[in-house]
Amino acid sequence: MKAKINKMIAASFALMLSACEDFVDVGLPPTQVTAEQVFNEPQLVEAALVQNYIALRDQVLLTGRQNGTGVTLGLYSDELVNWGSPAGNPQTFYTNTLSPQSNAIKAIWNDAYKVIYSCNRIIEGLAHASRIPEVDKNKLMAEALFIRGLVHFYIHQLFHEIPYVTSSDYKVNKTIQKVGKDEIYENIVTDLQEALIKIGDENSTSNVRPNKYVIKAFLARVFLYQNKWMEAFSQSTEVIESGRYSLAQNIEDVFLKNSSGTIWQFTPQSESVNTYEAQSMIFNTVPPPNFSISPALLASFEIGDLRKVKWLKGVGNDTNMQYHSYKYKEFLPSGISKEQSIVFRLEEMFYIGIEAGIYMGEVNQAMTWWNTLRNRYGLGEYQNIPSNWENLLLEERRHEFFCEFGHRFMDLKRTGKLSSIMLINKPQWKDVYKNFPIPEAELLLNPNLLPQNEGY
């Protein structure tokens, strides 16, 4: 009976998400289960919370499908080449011809804010739940705060100034204003620090739900993006030295389900299914049906870099060879899932620690970590900090995180190098393309979101 109720609540929240056409136009539908009923049963809140993970995995921002940031920002930057229809959404990302009227842009915005709305409902409901044990309440609220911060982080990377929505009150949200980068990051850090307090020392061995190290890993990234080197170094070091994770010795094991370096990954739809990333990226014929690795990315690897050998695969012949990402290798169901989409992994903590460490003077530790990674990939060690270490590190991040959730685009944007690098391979590039246009429909609904981003 309880399982049946959980499914009913999950379906109820899924309906709530799908029913919200625009994030400013949200109220609790009269057909929904009452808040009192939902927010006094931990299993029911859990079912509601799980819908957000499903949304991120299947549709919103972090999905490995073609509308996720791995593909869209890979096309938008310099990682992927589009071979699909010249009239399709992927082509508008590839040619940097997005418009405020784009349905793809509207879907990104609205789907993201639907998840945020759901998190706000959970946070508000739990605050008044009287019959849920405190430890359960805190864990559920910590996860909702984490997801809220995570989604705001990604839409800020895409749209720049955005509303930071912390209420489910549609009367408030329909006139909400955008806020700038500093306030967005301040709000994200506030949400994450509160999540850390609430989640406490929860030591579940599962890596499919956020724990304190997942939150610290995300905090390390946020501090890096703020150029807060000491904080970024501290958080990344805590994750590295926790003893919970270790670098997979064989880099072909990095993206396996039970990889020792996985900090957080999504659970697949069913036990036999693998990842959307493999379905999106892998092809067996040329020309490719959808996307291939760009010549610029292919040519940028150092000689002997095992990531080029193990994480890329060529299809074709000597006169026509195209490459696809081969991080995830399981295209078909496999009886038991072998791969799950990894959102945070230990390698990122090393790269954050290296960058932040060099800037703050922790040079010995930073270079030890850097050479650990270079040895792992078959590359020579650095005896001293290279004079152009910033560019070299940026390139190594490029080779580490290609086609993973837009790391390349966001790295170039945060370091101020986006336009100068894009112009090398994309002569149509303009500096205003660093931000997506705000959907026109949202500006019409809420003029407080004006002005439109420059160039649109």
Query: Is 60 part of any domain?
Result: yes
Quote the number of domains for the chain: 1
What are the φ and ψ backbone dihedral angles of 409, each rounded to 5 degrees? -60, -45
- In angstroms, the first-to-last Cα distance of the chain is 53
DSSP notation for 217-238: HHHHHHHHHTT-HHHHHHHHHH
Closest CA to 281 of 340, 329, 339: 329
Query: Is 315 part of any domain?
Result: no
Q: Which domain holds residue 412?
A: 2-259+342-449
**Which tens digit of pLDDT belongs to each residue from 310-330?**
999 999 998 999 999 999 999
Find the DSSP H helices in 301-406: 306-310, 346-360, 363-376, 389-401
Amino acid at 213: Y
pLDDT of residue 206: 81
Helix 418-425 and helix 407-414, axial crossing angle in degrees, nearest 10 = 130
Query: Is 330 part of any domain?
Result: no
Find the DSSP H helices in 271-331: 276-281, 295-300, 306-310
Query: Is 191 part of any domain?
Result: yes
* pLDDT above 70: residue 30: no
Query: Is 416 part of any domain?
Result: yes
Q: What angle do CA 226, 60, 332 make, to 5 degrees?
A: 120
pLDDT bucket at 390, cuts 50 / 70 / 90: very high
Query: Is 312 part of any domain?
Result: no
* CATH number assigned to the domain comprising residue 387: 1.25.40.390
Q: Mean pLDDT over residues 59-85, rounded?
A: 97
| Alpha-carbon gap, residue 399 to 311, rounded angstroms | 9
| Alpha-carbon gap, residue 185 to 435, rounded angstroms | 17
SS3 (DSSP) at 345: strand
DSSP for residue 377: T
Q: In sequence order, what are the beta bridge partners of 162?
A: 179
Q: What angle do CA 417, 327, 268 make, to 5 degrees?
A: 110
pLDDT of residue 24: 41
pLDDT bucket at 20, cuts 50 / 70 / 90: very low
pLDDT of residue 214: 97
pLDDT of residue 203: 66
Q: In sequence order, what are the beta bridge partners of 265?
A: 342
Are 324 and 283 in contact by the 8 Å Cβ rule? The answer is yes
| Mean residue pLDDT across the chain | 92
Question: Among all chains, which residue has been given the structure tokens 């169901």?
Answer: 333
SS3 (DSSP) at 371: helix
Query: Is 307 part of any domain?
Result: no
* pLDDT above 80: residue 78: yes
Amino acid at 368: T
pLDDT of residue 4: 45
The b-or-e profile of 290-304 (16+ CB within 10 A means b, else e) is bbbbbebbeeebbee
Query: Is 105 part of any domain?
Result: yes
